[in-house]
Chains A and B, each alone.
Chain A
Amino acid sequence: MTVELERFGYRESTYERPNQKWVCGWAAMGRPCRLGPDGRGRCPCADECSCTPSRVGDRYHCGRTAVFGGPCDSGPRPDGTCCHPEPEHPVCQPRLSLRARRGRITATCASLGAGALAFLLAGPWGGPYLSPGPLADPHMTAATRVAAESQSYCAACHESQPATFGLFQPVKDTACLKCHVAEAHHPSRSADHGRPMQPTDGLAISNMATGCTQCHREHRGGSYDLAHVDESDCVRCHAVIAAHRVPASATANDAPPVEPPVESAVANVTSFASDHPEFAVLSCGRVDRTPLAFGHAKHMDPVGFPQMQGMLTTWVESLQKNGMEEVPIGASRTVDGQLQLDCTGCHQLDAAGRYMQPIVFEEHCMHCHELPLQVLGAGRSERTPHGSGIEAFIRRIAFEQANAPKDPKKEDADARPPPGRRGRPRDKELPQQPEPAEEVKGENQRDALEQKVKEVTDPIRDACIKCHKFGDGLASIVDPMIPPRWLPRSRFSHEVHRFIRDCQECHAVAPPGPAPGPADLAWTGRTKDIMLPPIARCRECHSPDPITATAAARHDCAMCHDYHEPALPFAMGGAVAPDDSSRRAAPVTR
């Protein structure tokens, strides 16, 4: 490289000032003047030679400054005027520097952007443009479309008030409740969606679940499920549940804005997959305290209980006599030909496919467990009923048996003369019984009736006591207290889990220890064992995949728990602690 690109020096090069606003118009041609334009973008070349020749003695000397090249060789004319009436550089049109051009482009862009924004917001496109997303399809009703067409797109939900200078406001609950009716989630919340929950940990009120929009977020697209609530919305409070509870003494209106956290029996939860507590019915050593004696093992093991095999055979034969199939639904044959009762023999889904219908004695048990037949005389008999009316039945049967007309043949035999004699018996030979007084007669009848009641009750008790527990009364059977739902604070669907063919994969007693597998489960013969799957069994599917971090099955809170619908009280389901006998009888129709 022999050609030198840059030559620095006081004389050889000028001092570049790229931060100045204007540059010489000749710079692009490679011939910038030495002075350059002034701060206002004016070319000073017109004044380049406007020097004032100075007179020294009888001569005029050129007064051109060094910036313009110093005194010229020609010098002034004899009359003292400059000999260069035209400047060396023609007057140029100074140009903006790069930096100034950048600034103008920036200002232009900002101005255009502001103008476009004002144009959009002032016009009918303002609402749709500002909208953070399309409304959900259920909210795009005809009324909303009309509102959209009438340019009050947002006003359908966002009310504008004079106090806010006509600006729209956040959607209030009242706007939602115009069409929707919803219950409050927490008992402490008023029915009109008041604000009793206080930010006890210093959180802003906007961070509490105090409004519909806190959980049901709009503008997420037409197909967005508004009813779906993200797990994070629940975790917002339930991660530190104690900090969000209001003391029982505080009411909705007088709760102070800041309260110390209240001890809560509800555990903190951040995710079903990680720290959701074990189901309450399976935790804390809870057992099924139903007085009903029932063992699944006895009914499901065809080998261990030969009596069960005989009953099943009798049942199947009776069905076959009535033209039914060889092996009815609810039973099957094992490989060695023995009959095996299936789970579906007793447990059938309800119409919604969610829960199992209650066990009904007449449908599910009576095939094998027949109740005693009561003979009423005169060829009449009546089957002992199952249910709460058994005591009345016993008394009625005893009364009818006690007052049943005597058999005429037996009466004739009593009136027949002693052997060896013919004819009517003499009156003196008839037993002479004194006419009892009325009171004595009544007592005798009551005693006879009670005796008859006892006679009727004993075989019935013998039959019932196989399964039921009797109370203090005549035939007062203690309510079995079978809950309609074992997990009353959540919902479940057996239908969507139908791909699990074997019920025992979930419904069997799990041995103690974490995450038992299906092979560890077994039928239990103990009634107190609760045959619900532990939460670890659910997590096998309802958890994020540890490798792909994607969920194999949903595990958000709203999948199982309802927010608005009031949950069943605990007394309606679940198990109880061993020392808790306060569970009330469940109003179940059996």
Chain B
Amino acid sequence: MDEPMNLAARRWLAGLVTAAVAGLVTILVCRRYPTLAAAGYCTGWILLGVIVYLALYNARKKLAYPPLLSSAAWLRAHVYVGFLSLYLFLLHVGFRVPSGPFEVTLAGLFLGTAASGVIGLFLSRTIPPRLMARGAEVLFERIPALRREMSDRAKEVVLETAKETAEPMLSAFYSKHLAGFFSGPRNAFAHVCQAGRDRQRLLVALASERRYFNDHEKKGADELAELINAKDLLDYHYAMQGLLKTWLFVHIPLTYLMMLFAGVHAVVVHTFAGDGG
């Protein structure tokens, strides 16, 4: 049985195939239409076809049963054909900035879609390794329930220690510093920026208060420290996985909006432009 091609070789091969297709399209267009302006119709229809194919990936994900290759294969093709579409777009506009309001809008929609796609590709390539590096796996949909469990457990710890202590220092600390921390997701932007200063601040504050705790409270403080670390990790997952899901809120609406404008553009071009003779 043949060994599967490694990732680097596969990416090189796919990149070469994409570049070859781009070169082939360029050669064919240039041979048939010596000017880019004359090739506008040809490159425009090719670009529209490519865009429709790219948009079909979303439909493929909803079709689970037909044997249409795996979704991963579609995603890989989506990425490389997306880069090809960017080149076709530049070829179509003749490597110049459009001047009309409608064309500027359409170009902006396309570039916005392409930019969001590139950003999404970057996020989907960089965030999973960062999540793996933190050493835990959690489903995004389960994070609220886990957060609730941690919050409940923290309250239990504080209440247990308060029963044993005349002057509950730990419960005062919890009310002052930890109640808000455990109540919901925190520090999303800091987690995206890989900043863990808030967790450190809480742990340092808890350690500085430790000398005033009795033995019961010290035991509870140890457990709270563990819960702070776990909650911070959960917030990290929530922020990063949320980012992985949020970029599609930009990419997909822009795609359909751009397709709408592209359809109108095709009609307008064939109506107004061309050889009037």
Residues in B with CB closer than 8 Å to A106 are 252-253, 256
Given contacts A167-B271, A170-B273, A232-B38, 6 further A-B contacts (CB under 8 A): A2-B226, A16-B139, A105-B249, A108-B253, A109-B254, A117-B261
Which positions 227-277 of chain B face chain A at CB distance < 8 Å?
Answer: 227, 229-230, 233-234, 237, 245, 248-249, 252-254, 256-257, 260-261, 264, 268, 271-277
Residues in A with CB closer than 8 Å to B103 are 132-133
Q: Which of B148, B149, B233, B256 contacts A109 (CB 8 A)?
A: B256
The answer to whether B226 and A3 have CB atoms under 8 Å apart is yes
Which positions 93-136 of chain B face chain A at CB distance < 8 Å?
Answer: 98-103, 135-136
Q: Which of A29, A132, A203 contacts B32 (CB 8 A)?
A: A203
Residues in A with CB closer than 8 Å to B261 are 113, 117
Residues in A with CB closer than 8 Å to B151 are 30
A168 at the interface (CB under 8 A from B): yes
Selected interface stretch from A214-222, A368-376, A467-475: A214-222
Q: Which of B100, B138, B233, B276 contacts A172 (CB 8 A)?
A: B276
The answer to whether A195 and B277 have CB atoms under 8 Å apart is yes
B142 at the interface (CB under 8 A from A): yes
Given the interface contacts A1-B233, A5-B136, does A213 sit within 8 Å of B271 by beta carbon? Answer: no
The answer to whether B34 and A235 have CB atoms under 8 Å apart is yes
- Closest chain A CB from B234 CB (angstroms): 6
User: Residues of B with Cβ closer than 8 Å to A?
Assistant: 32-38, 41, 98-103, 135-142, 144-151, 226-227, 229-230, 233-234, 237, 245, 248-249, 252-254, 256-257, 260-261, 264, 268, 271-277
The answer to whether A1 and B229 have CB atoms under 8 Å apart is yes
The answer to whether B229 and A105 have CB atoms under 8 Å apart is no
The answer to whether A27 and B99 have CB atoms under 8 Å apart is no
- Closest chain B CB from A197 CB (angstroms): 11
A31 at the interface (CB under 8 A from B): yes
User: A131: nearest residue on chain B (CB-CB)?
Assistant: B100
Which positions 183-202 of chain A face chain B at CB distance < 8 Å?
Answer: 193, 195
User: B242: nearest residue on chain A (CB-CB)?
Assistant: A98
Residues in A with CB closer than 8 Å to B38 are 207, 232, 236
Q: How far is the CA of A299 from the CA of B140 in the complex (A)?
A: 95
A150-180 interface code vs B (CB 8 A; 1 in, 0 out): 0000100010000010011111110100000
The answer to whether A5 and B230 have CB atoms under 8 Å apart is yes
Residues in B with CB closer than 8 Å to A270 are 34
The answer to whether B275 and A205 have CB atoms under 8 Å apart is yes
The answer to whether A30 and B146 have CB atoms under 8 Å apart is yes
Most buried by A among B101, B227, B249, B253: B253
Q: How far is the CA of A43 from the CA of B182 in the complex (A)?
A: 28
User: Residues of A with Cβ closer than 8 Å to B?
Assistant: 1-3, 5-6, 13, 16, 18, 23, 27-32, 98, 101-102, 105-106, 108-110, 113-114, 117, 128-134, 154, 158, 164, 167-173, 175, 193, 195, 203, 205-208, 210-214, 217, 219-221, 230, 232-233, 235-236, 239, 270
- Closest chain B CB from A213 CB (angstroms): 6
Given the interface contacts A106-B256, A168-B271, A235-B35, does A6 sit within 8 Å of B101 by beta carbon? Answer: no
Q: Which of B100, B136, B146 contacts A132 (CB 8 A)?
A: B100
The answer to whether B253 and A105 have CB atoms under 8 Å apart is yes
User: A238: nearest residue on chain B (CB-CB)?
Assistant: B34
Interchain residue pairs with CB less than 8 A apart (16)? A1-B136, A3-B150, A18-B141, A28-B144, A30-B145, A31-B148, A101-B249, A105-B249, A106-B256, A117-B260, A132-B102, A167-B271, A170-B273, A175-B276, A207-B33, A233-B37
- Closest chain B CB from A396 CB (angstroms): 63
Residues in B with CB closer than 8 Å to A169 are 271-272, 276
The answer to whether B253 and A132 have CB atoms under 8 Å apart is no
Q: Which of A5, A211, A232 contacts B277 (CB 8 A)?
A: A211
The answer to whether A3 and B102 have CB atoms under 8 Å apart is no
Residues in B with CB closer than 8 Å to A23 are 141
The answer to whether B147 and A30 have CB atoms under 8 Å apart is yes
Residues in B with CB closer than 8 Å to A30 are 144-149, 151
Q: How far is the CA of A1 from the CA of B141 in the complex (A)?
A: 22
User: A209: nearest residue on chain B (CB-CB)?
Assistant: B275
Q: Which of A105, A114, A211 contacts B275 (CB 8 A)?
A: A211
Given the interface contacts A6-B138, A171-B276, A173-B277, does A230 sit within 8 Å of B102 by beta carbon? Answer: no
Q: Which of B102, B138, B260 contacts A114 (CB 8 A)?
A: B260
The answer to whether A29 and B248 have CB atoms under 8 Å apart is no
Residues in B with CB closer than 8 Å to A133 are 98-100, 103
Q: How far is the CA of A27 from the CA of B142 in the complex (A)?
A: 8
Q: Which of A27, A168, A211 contacts B141 (CB 8 A)?
A: A27
Given the interface contacts A3-B150, A235-B35, does A110 sit within 8 Å of B256 by beta carbon? Answer: yes
Most buried by A among B146, B230, B237, B276: B276
- Closest chain B CB from A2 CB (angstroms): 5
- Closest chain A CB from B157 CB (angstroms): 12
Q: Which of B34, B136, B248, B273 contacts A6 (CB 8 A)?
A: B136
Given the interface contacts A110-B253, A117-B261, A132-B99, does A214 sit within 8 Å of B275 by beta carbon? Answer: yes
The answer to whether B253 and A130 have CB atoms under 8 Å apart is no
The answer to whether B268 and A130 have CB atoms under 8 Å apart is yes
Q: How far is the CA of A239 from the CA of B145 in the complex (A)?
A: 70
User: A232: nearest residue on chain B (CB-CB)?
Assistant: B35
Residues in B with CB closer than 8 Å to A13 are 142
User: B257: nearest residue on chain A (CB-CB)?
Assistant: A113
Residues in B with CB closer than 8 Å to A27 are 141, 144-145
